[in-house]
């Protein structure tokens, strides 16, 4: 069988992984089902999307053993649409959102795996928790009332810059935070095992700094056209 460009890109990207055990989440936002199917045929089962309508449509049309990852900012009123099928929500950027996920998950009798998105970048536009909020929430009372979520780690996005020292520093900050949280007496619905950090431009640095999941789009599917 002829190798598709997407399967070749996947091979190339994976060959550069400093950590072969790091999970590759193929970010397929804006890309058609045909492209996703090609990555699927090359063995990929984890796909990331950032829009509720798009991920819901794609999940309905594509193979049922795909694990769908929500990686973009999620509005509370849209949580209910993804809860029935979502594998992991990386982008839980507030307590209000987490509460809503718990509520909708309870309605359908599910437990939803979540990552808490941490604010590490030096940019106004990045969402997320800071260190103090995380500590007080994870050691507080409220988390114990959330029976339908499982927090499995942290997610972060570095500043959009070509300065590698800045990016590496931000990934280090996230890893340190993760390691420190791991040492705490965490509640039963919190487990620090995954760090989702790294995209096409910085996944090498991210893996060197301890990432367990990278979210890679353009290096696999080519650049995006937002029209």
Judged by CB under 6 A, the residue of 44, 52, 70, 71 near ligand PLP is 71
Least distance from ligand PLP to the Cβ atom of residue 141, Å: 31
Judged by CB under 6 A, the residue of 4, 111, 135, 200 near ligand PLP is 200
Q: Per-residue contact track with ligand PLP, 15 to 44, x per CB under 6 A? A: ------------x-x---------------
153 binds ligand PLP (CB under 6 A): no
Q: Per-residue contact track with ligand PLP, 95 to 134, x per CB under 6 A? A: ----------------------------------------
92 binds ligand PLP (CB under 6 A): no
Terminal CA-CA length for the chain? 33
Least distance from ligand PLP to the Cβ atom of residue 171, Å: 14
Torsion, Cα 110 65 151 197, to 10 degrees, reads -160
Least distance from ligand PLP to the Cβ atom of residue 109, Å: 29
Least distance from ligand PLP to the Cβ atom of residue 160, Å: 9
The one segment of 92-100, 122-130, 175-183, 197-205 that binds ligand PLP by CB under 6 A: 197-205
Residue 76 CB burial class (10 angstroms; 0-12, 13-18, ≥19): middle
Count of residues interacting with ligand PLP (CB under 6 A): 14
The binding site for ligand PLP (CB under 6 A) comprises 27, 29, 50, 71-72, 157, 199-201, 215-219
């Amino acid at each position: 069988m002829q190798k598709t460009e997407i399967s070749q890109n996947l091979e190339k990207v994976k060959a550069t992984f400093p950590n072969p055990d790091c999970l590759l989440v193929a970010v397929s936002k804006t890309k058609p089902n045909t492209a996703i199917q090609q990555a699927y045929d090359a063995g990929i089962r984890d796909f990331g999307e950032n829009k509720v309508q798009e991920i819901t449509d794609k999940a309905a049309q594509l193979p049922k053993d795909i694990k769908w990852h929500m990686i973009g900012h999620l509005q509370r009123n849209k949580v209910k649409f993804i809860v029935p099928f979502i594998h992991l929500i990386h982008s839980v950027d507030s307590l209000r959102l987490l509460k809503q996920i718990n509520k909708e998950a309870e309605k359908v009798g599910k437990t939803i795996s979540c990552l808490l998105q941490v604010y590490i970048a030096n940019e106004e536009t990045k969402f997320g928790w800071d260190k103090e909020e995380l500590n007080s929430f994870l050691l507080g009372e409220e988390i114990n009332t959330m029976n339908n979520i499982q927090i499995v780690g942290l997610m972060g996005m570095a500043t959009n810059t070509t300065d590698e020292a800045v990016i590496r520093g931000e990934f280090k900050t996230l890893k340190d935070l993760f390691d420190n949280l791991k040492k705490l007496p965490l509640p039963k619905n919190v487990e620090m095992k995954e760090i989702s950090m790294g995209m096409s431009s910085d996944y090498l640095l991210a893996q060197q700094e301890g990432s367990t999941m990278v979210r890679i789009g353009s290096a696999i599917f080519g650049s995006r056209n937002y029209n």
